Structures are given as C-alpha cells and as structure tokens.
Amino acid sequence: MILAAVLTAGCILLSGCSGPADPDPARSSTPIAAPSPIESTARATSAVFHGTVQEYADALVQCMVDAGWEASTDADDPQGPGVIRFGTVPAEQQAAWDADNESCQSTLGVLDDAPRTDAELRARYDWLVGLNDCLVAAGYVQEAPPSYESFSDEFATSGTIAWDPMGSVGTASVEAALSACPRSTDVW
C-alpha cells in the first residue's frame, strides 16, 4: 500500500493504475505506474473505471470527502491532471483513512489505461526510468530500475505496472518530489 502512504503526504498524481503521464499524447487517458492501492485493488476486483485521469481523481476525491476526509483536485494543477491533495491524516486515524481509501478505490475500480502495445509498454518503462533519474538528480535515494525484461514480465503476468519510482519517496517529501519531477511531463 505504498500509494496509501504517499497519498497521506497531501498530494499525489493519480494517473490511473499503471503508469505516469502518458508519453503518447494521442491517448486520452494518462497512466500511472505505481505500486499502489489502486493496483492492489486491480488484483482484488474486476471493476474497471472508464474515463480520464481527471474524472477518476474527481470520483476518488468525492468518495473520500463523502467518507469524511479532506481531499481536493484541480484539473488545472501545474503538476498535471489527476493530482489529488489530501489533508493531513493524524497517525491514530491512518488505518481508518487507509480502509476508506481502499474502499473508494475498490468501488471505483481500476482506471483502464494499460499499455495496449509493446511500443506503449516500452515507452512507459522509458518514461519511468526518466522519472527515476530525475528523482536521483533531485537528491532522492532510489533503487535501481528493474530491467525492461522484468518490468514487461510483471506486466504480462499481472496486467499492471508494479514499479513507480515516486512510490519510494517518503510521504513527507512527495510535494517537493512532484515539484522537482512533475508527472505532467511527457519526456525526461
């Protein structure tokens, strides 16, 4: 539940459940490659959300607000569409927040934005490697990226992209990391 931890930091870009900002501007939905509750939910539910990244973010925000949590999104956010900002979650409420977040994501389903071709998958991988390099250059400690073979094997097995360099950024650093390496860029 790395994204749950990331979300509590106050800001995360939800770009779906399998990749960051789509390197192919011709596609209408933006993916997120992330080890995330969204992906965990993808494995646990067959529900699929058909819509844009922003529509998904709007729906998730509404669900979390309905559950009593502070959340907002802005389609014109400088970090790109789909950025959700959450209020601070006190440590004693973290388990309840996590449960509500997982419930909302399960109800919404998984954003359908998976790569459809080998070229799209390779572009997604290359984009994530660029994001990883950006984070390293900005001073964030990152593990080495998986090999493309490992990355593509995981996608072939699970149907999701389980590696997202932003997922290893500490929750207190997400806002700064997104400022240094925004998900809205198409290339690094």
| Residuewise pLDDT in 10s, the chain (188 residues) | 333 333 333 333 343 333 333 333 333 333 333 333 334 434 444 688 887 778 888 999 999 999 999 999 887 776 666 778 888 999 999 999 999 999 998 999 877 766 778 888 898 899 999 999 999 999 998 889 999 999 998 888 877 777 889 888 877 788 889 889 887 666 66
Is residue 165 included in any domain, yes or no?
Answer: yes
Q: What pLDDT shows up at residue 169?
A: 86
Quote the distance between the C-alpha of residue 149 and its chain's center: 22
Q: What pLDDT shows up at residue 80?
A: 65
For residues 146 and 11, give the distance between their C-alpha atoms in angstroms, rounded to a whole number: 26
Is residue 186 included in any domain, yes or no?
Answer: no
Q: What pLDDT shows up at residue 100?
A: 95
Q: Could you tell me whether strands 48-49 and 110-111 are parallel, antiparallel, or unpaired per DSSP bridges?
A: parallel
Q: What pLDDT shows up at residue 1?
A: 34
Is residue 30 included in any domain, yes or no?
Answer: yes
Please state the length of the chain: 188
For residues 21 and 184, give the distance between their C-alpha atoms in angstroms, rounded to a whole number: 5
Q: What pLDDT shows up at residue 188?
A: 62
Q: What pLDDT shows up at residue 130?
A: 93
Number of domain units in the chain = 1
pTM of the model: 0.50
Is residue 185 included in any domain, yes or no?
Answer: no
Average pLDDT, the chain: 74
Question: Between vectors from CA 92 to CA 89 and to CA 97, what angle results, nearest 5°?
Answer: 50
Is residue 79 included in any domain, yes or no?
Answer: yes
Q: What pLDDT shows up at residue 144?
A: 92
Is residue 187 included in any domain, yes or no?
Answer: no
Is residue 73 included in any domain, yes or no?
Answer: yes
For residues 151 and 162, give the distance between their C-alpha atoms in angstroms, rounded to a whole number: 8
Domain that holds residue 148: 2-180
Is residue 188 included in any domain, yes or no?
Answer: no
